[in-house]
């Protein structure tokens, strides 16, 4: 069994308290970090091959490096805790069971990028995580770990915990920023990117909860150790949310070099009831669907990319042979039609249109040309929108039909 890093305390009662976090070595990384120069921390994070674990998989240290040097005004750190990708529930565990890991990671990251104000944008439906994390923040303030002159370092950091209001699009980093600013959660045009002009017009780094939780460990044990846990292009472990037709659904922390097959069969206990595996969504609902014989891919960003899909948010949805893929597509299409923010035309209009076609097929009113229309609309819309939302929806639209076309055709022939 590989070493657990992020989830090492999850089984301990009181894992969410400052006392237990400290007992198990918490806030040691912070002491190390304060002995370093901010640029050295960024360099260490670069060397660790830590990649963003919210979905896009962008190298974290490189992202930090995009901030303008010597910016005269404030710089902000924003933690994306708007975990909304269907099939993903790892950040929730971190917020509930190890909130101080996030706080320590935030202090180090803010110190590295020169931010004195950090926002934590928590998904509105995450009431319990919000409560627990809020208490942890209060504890940290009391212990002098947040606020002015943290632990005598001369470094100040304040944290604002902000609750979302229930829109998937607010997990998109610029949609999140709009929402944080008090506006409708509409993604922003890029350029400018948030690192240049983000929250409230200030240079802003947006990082996922899990990503930042790794940072104290990188400080503690070094970039080389972290990089060595993973593959050539991605360091560390990762938390996989496994749901669907497995014996033991839940969150599993594995090195990113593990295979999808081992995750499903060794860790999650395989498919219950002796049924056969039909398909797996490896990285949240926006990822391209893999068939039962495509699961030997490794789970790192590049491994799944080479398999024609994406690691995304590492939300693994397992479907056995009882699943109707056309119905699954209808459900996914309904989600994207419901969650499209409506700001730009291709996404707003085609998500609704594709859902109507998918639903009609499932209802037995499909027409022969519908499948090609869905594929054509998805391909034409791809890459034309403001944000990546529609490109994410295109993954399932195309892969469900291309890989299981016979199931759709069977429904249309009826």
Partner 1 sequence: MVRLTIDSKEIEVAEGTNIIEAARRLGIEVPHYCYHPGLSVAGQCRLCMVELGNNPRPQIGCNTQVAEGMVVRTDTPKVLEVRQSIMEFHLINHPLDCPVCDQAGECWLQIYYMKHGLYEPRMVDEKVHKPKAVPLGPHVMLDAERCILCSRCVRFCDEVTGTGELGIFDRGDRSEIGLFPGRELANPYSANVIDICPVGALTDRDFRFAVRVWYLDTAKSICPGCSRGCNIDVHYNIRRPHHNQGRRVARLKPRFNAEVNRWWICDAGRYGYRFVDDPSRLGAPARGRGDAAQEVGWEEIIPLVTAQLRRYRPDEIGVVASPKMANEDFFLLRRLVDHLGLIHVDFRVPPRTPGDEDRILIKADKNPNTRGAELIGLGPRPGGLDARGMLRAARDRRIKCLWVFHHDLQASAWPAAEVGDALRAVECFIYQGSNSNGVSAAAHYVLPSAAWVERDGTFTNFEGRVQRFWKAVEPLGLSLTDWEILGRLGAALGLGPEPASAEACFKALAASAAPFAGLSYRELRDTGKVLSA
Binding residues for partner 1, rule: CB under 8 A, are 167, 169, 184, 189, 191, 337-346, 348-353, 356-357, 360, 367, 369, 373, 380-381, 383-386
Q: Which is nearer to partner 1, 222 or 346 (CB)?
A: 346
CA separation for the pair 363, 62 (Å, rounded): 48
Q: Which is nearer to partner 1, 218 or 347 (CB)?
A: 347
CA separation for the pair 240, 256 (Å, rounded): 10
CA separation for the pair 99, 313 (Å, rounded): 19
> At closest approach, how far in Å is the CB of 144 from partner 1?
43
Q: Which is nearer to partner 1, 300 or 339 (CB)?
A: 339
CA separation for the pair 187, 176 (Å, rounded): 7
CB 265 within 8 A of CB 334: no
CA separation for the pair 117, 156 (Å, rounded): 8
Q: Which is nearer to partner 1, 14 or 383 (CB)?
A: 383
Residue where the block lists tokens 């398909």: 279
Least Cα distance to 94 among 258, 224, 253, 219 occurs for 253
DSSP state of 123: -
Q: Concatenate the DSSP letters of all residues of 100-111 into one string.
A: HHHHHHHHHHHH
> At closest approach, how far in Å is the CB of 169 from partner 1?
8
Q: What angle do CA 56, 57, 59 make, to 5 degrees?
A: 125
> At closest approach, how far in Å is the CB of 284 from partner 1?
19
Q: Which is nearer to partner 1, 44 or 339 (CB)?
A: 339
> At closest approach, how far in Å is the CB of 82 from partner 1?
15
Q: Which is nearer to partner 1, 227 or 341 (CB)?
A: 341
> At closest approach, how far in Å is the CB of 248 from partner 1?
36
> At closest approach, how far in Å is the CB of 382 from partner 1?
10
Query: Which token pair is 249?
Result: 């659904």
> At closest approach, how far in Å is the CB of 406 from partner 1?
23
- Strands 76-81 and 204-208 come out as parallel
CA separation for the pair 198, 176 (Å, rounded): 10
Q: Which is nearer to partner 1, 132 or 361 (CB)?
A: 361
Q: Which is nearer to partner 1, 158 or 391 (CB)?
A: 391
> At closest approach, how far in Å is the CB of 338 from partner 1?
6
> At closest approach, how far in Å is the CB of 177 from partner 1?
16
Return the H-helix or E-strand segment holding 414: none
Q: Which residues pair with 319 in a beta bridge?
A: 279
Q: Which is nearer to partner 1, 104 or 370 (CB)?
A: 370
CB 157 within 8 A of CB 146: yes
CA separation for the pair 306, 296 (Å, rounded): 11
CA separation for the pair 115, 75 (Å, rounded): 5
């Amino acid at each position: 069994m590989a070493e657990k890093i992020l989830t090492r305390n999850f089984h301990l009662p009181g894992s969410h308290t400052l006392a237990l976090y400290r007992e198990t070595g918490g806030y040691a990384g912070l002491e190390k970090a304060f002995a370093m120069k901010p640029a050295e921390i960024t360099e260490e994070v670069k060397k660790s091959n830590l990649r963003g674990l919210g979905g896009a998989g962008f190298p974290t240290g490189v992202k930090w490096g995009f901030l303008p040097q010597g910016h005269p005004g404030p710089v902000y750190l924003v933690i994306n805790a708007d975990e909304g990708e269907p099939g993903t529930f790892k950040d929730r565990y971190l917020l509930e069971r190890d909130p101080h890991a996030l706080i320590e990671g935030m202090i180090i990251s803010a110190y590295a990028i020169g931010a004195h104000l950090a926002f934590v944008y928590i998904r509105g439906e995450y009431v319990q995580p919000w409560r627990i994390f809020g208490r942890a923040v209060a504890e940290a303030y009391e212990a002098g770990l947040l606020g002015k002159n943290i632990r005598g370092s001369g470094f100040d950091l304040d944290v604002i915990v902000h609750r979302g209001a229930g829109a998937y699009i607010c997990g998109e980093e610029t949609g999140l920023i709009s929402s944080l600013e008090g506006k409708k959660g509409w993604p922003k045009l890029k350029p400018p990117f948030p690192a240049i002009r983000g929250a409230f017009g200030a240079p802003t780094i947006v990082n996922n909860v899990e990503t930042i939780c790794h940072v104290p460990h990188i400080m503690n044990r070094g970039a080389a150790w972290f990089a060595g846990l993973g593959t050539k292009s991605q360091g560390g472990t990762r938390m996989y949310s496994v749901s669907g037709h497995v014996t033991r659904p839940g969150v599993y922390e594995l090195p990113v070099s593990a295979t999808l097959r081992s995750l499903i069969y060794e860790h999650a206990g395989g498919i219950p009831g002796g049924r056969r595996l039909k398909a797996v969504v490896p990285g949240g609902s926006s990822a391209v669907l893999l068939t039962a014989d495509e699961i030997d891919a490794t789970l790192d960003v590049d491994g799944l990319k080479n398999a024609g899909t994406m690691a995304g948010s590492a939300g693994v949805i397992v479907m056995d042979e009882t699943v109707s893929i056309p119905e699954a597509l209808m459900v996914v299409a309904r989600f994207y039609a419901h969650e499209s923010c409506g700001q730009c035309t291709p996404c707003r209009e085609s998500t609704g249109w594709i859902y109507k076609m998918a639903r009609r097929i499932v209802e037995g009113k499909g027409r022969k040309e519908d499948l090609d229309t869905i594929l054509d609309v998805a391909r034409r819309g791809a890459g034309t929108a403001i944000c990546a939302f529609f490109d994410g929806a295109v993954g399932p639209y195309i892969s469900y039909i291309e890989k299981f076309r016979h199931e759709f055709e069977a429904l249309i022939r009826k």
